[in-house]
Amino acid sequence: KKKLKISGRDLASVPLQVFSLDQLQVLEMSPERESCLRYRMELLPQEISHLRNLTCLYVDSNNLKKIPAEIGTLSHLERLTLSNNSLRSLPPEMGALQRLHSLHLANNNLTELPAPLCQLRSLTFLDVSDNKIGTIPSSIRHLEKLETLLLLFNSLENLPKDVCLLRNLCTLWLGNNHLRSLPATFGELVNLDWGYNYCSCNFEGNPLEIPPPEVCSRGPEEIKNYFLSFHKT
């Protein structure tokens, strides 16, 4: 088998037989989204390191409290979904997942953007919404290939100017934070769609004041129109 889905309302652990499937590429242990279920697994076992050919690991909507350091040995991993768990931190070994391009961490208990994420140079999609993150480290500038960054429902009071160095960003969601202003270089994120594409950029739910003139002058004309219409609503 190269793809395996394990399901069950009472799923609390990974069957040991799974770790003998050394050719496994896709392992899914998440309930269907529309089912509103939550599985009971609290620990991803260290034996996950035996599955060296995994490219996709889906463990959403469980009760995970910790990710083992052995996750860093999955050198072929490209997609990892850990949303809707009880994670407070991530192991530094995650920085070794250099093929990882999609990471979902929404709705956990993280309080800051973990440093290991900034080592993932191939990352193009990062979702850390609804974690009460209050700070973003300056090392986020190393995520040079990042195209999608979702930071909704956190506690951000400031957006560091280093975010403006992520020139490949196409989608940036910052809704429902505590932002009052933006860096002067924000307009240099020229790949954002500053038209009326709601899916590209979102600021709703912030006490955002009109950005300084240099923000508008550095970006396309649409950025000024966006903020004018934003403050009318």
Q: Where are the domains of the chain?
A: 110-232
Percent residues over pLDDT 90 in the chain: 56
pLDDT digits (tens, 9 = 90+) for 155-181: 999 999 999 999 999 999 999 999 988
Q: Which fold has domain 110-232?
A: 3.80.10
- Report the distance separating Cα 201 and Cα 132, nearest Å: 20
User: What is the reported pTM?
Assistant: 0.88
- Report the distance separating Cα 51 and Cα 29, nearest Å: 15
The mean predicted confidence, pLDDT, of the chain is: 87
| Beta-sheet strands, E only, within the chain | 3-5, 26-28, 56-58, 79-81, 102-104, 125-127, 148-150, 171-173, 201-202
pLDDT digits (tens, 9 = 90+) for 116-170: 898 999 999 999 999 999 999 888 999 999 999 999 999 999 999 999 999 999 9
Task: Work out the average pLDDT over 87-99.
Answer: 94
> Could you tell me if 76 and 55 are in contact, meaning their C-beta atoms sit under 8 angstroms apart?
yes
Give Cα separations from 82 to 47, 115, 185 (angstroms). 18, 17, 32
